[in-house]
Structure 1
Amino acid sequence: MLTLAPTKMLGKIIYVSLLLVNSMAVLSEERFLARIGWVSSSQATNNANSGFQQTYDPQTGYGVQQEVGVKSRLIDLISAVRTLMRIPLIGFNILIIIYELALG
C-alpha cells in the first residue's frame, strides 16, 4: 500500500485545489458557458432585457422563494470565483511558481 507523508498529501491537496480554482477562473462566460446554458442569472436578465423578475405571493405579501438547484449554485460559484479570486489567484500562482523553481 502506498502511503504519503502528511505534508506531501497537504501539498498535493493545495495543488489540486489551486488547479481547480484556476480552471474555474479562466472559463469564458460568453464563449463557453453560454453555449451549454450555464449563464449566471445577472447575465440572463441582462440578455433578456426583462428587468426585475420576482414572483409575488398575494397571501403573505412577500416574494416567493424558489428552490435553488445544484446547477444554479455551480453557476453562482463559477461567477463568484471569476469575480473575487482573479487578483488573489495571480499572487498564489506566482508563489507556487517561485516555490517550484526554488525548491522543485
Structure 2
Amino acid sequence: MLALAPTKMFGKILYVSLLLTNSMAVLSEDRFLARIGWTSSSSQTTNSNAGFQQTYDPQTGYGVQQEVGIKTRLIDLITAVRTLMRIPLIGLNILIIIYKLTLG
C-alpha cells in the first residue's frame, strides 16, 4: 500500500500540470489578455532595445543586466506555451483521454 502512494501522487501532479498548461495554452490574447494589458506586443515594445541600453560596470568589466519584471516573465511564459506546446498538448490530451476511457 505504501508503494502505491508515490505513483498516485505523481499521477495527480501530472494531471495538475497538464491542466495548468492547457489553461495557459487556451488563453485568448485578443479576448482576455489584451483587456488586462498582458499582450506579448506590449512587453516587446518596452524591452525591444534593452540589450543595447546596458550600462557598463567598470569594477567587473561586464554590462549591468537590467531586472526583468515578473509580469514580463509571465507574458513570455504564456506566449511560449501558446506557441511551443500547442501540438504536444494535443497529443498528451489524447493519450490521457484514451487512458482514462480504457483504464478509468
Same fold? TM cut 0.5:
yes
Aligned length: 95
Match of 1:56 in 2: 53
More helix per residue? 2
Q: Distance in 2 between matches of 1:72 and 1:27?
A: 16
Task: List runs of 5+ in structure 1 lacking aligned partners.
Answer: none
Post-superposition offset of 1:44: 2.6
Encode CA deviations 1:6-65: one digit per residue, 9 max, x unaligned: 11101000000000000000001111101001111xx2388x7xxx644536878xx874
TM norm structure 1 = 0.76
Q: Using the aligned pairs only, state the percent identity.
A: 73
Query: Residues 42-81 of structure 1: matches in 2 within 5 Å?
Result: 43-44=41-42, 53-54=49-50, 56=53, 65-81=65-81
Match of 1:30 in 2: 30
TM norm structure 2 = 0.76
Runs of 4+ in 1 over 3 A off after TM superposition: 52-60
